Amino acid sequence: MKPVFRKELFWDVDYEKIDFTEHARFVIGRVAMRGNLNDWNTLKDYYGLETIRSEAVKIRYLDKRTLSYLSVILNVKKENFRCYNTEPSIKALWDY
């Protein structure tokens, strides 16, 4: 059975066409960074912490707050996350 997340989390894709097995890393990253507590609980119920852990460490970008949260919740050192060891492609924001 498909999990039910707020469709606002997936504003840029067709929610009905998401393959939650094939695109687990995308879904986990999106819910972790932009979801609320209900979304997080749905994520845990659907994937389980082991799958979340194995996919989250491979995500290319997580904001600092999400990285810290996942590090604590999943009991994984920040250094073990791919996003921690990868430099961002944009070094600085535009100066307005």
**Cβ-based neighbours of 9, under 8 Å, separated by 6 or more:** 30, 31, 34, 35, 39
pLDDT of residue 22: 95
pLDDT one-digit tens code per residue, 43-63:
999 999 999 999 999 999 999
Q: Where are the domains positioned within the chain?
A: 17-85
CA nearest neighbour of 15 among 5, 30, 1: 5
Please determine, for residue 96, whether its predicted confidence score (pLDDT) is greater than 80.
no
Global pTM value: 0.86
As a whole number of angstroms, the distance between CA 58 and CA 49 comes to 14
pLDDT of residue 17: 94
Give 30's contacts (C-beta < 8 A, 6+ positions apart): 9, 10
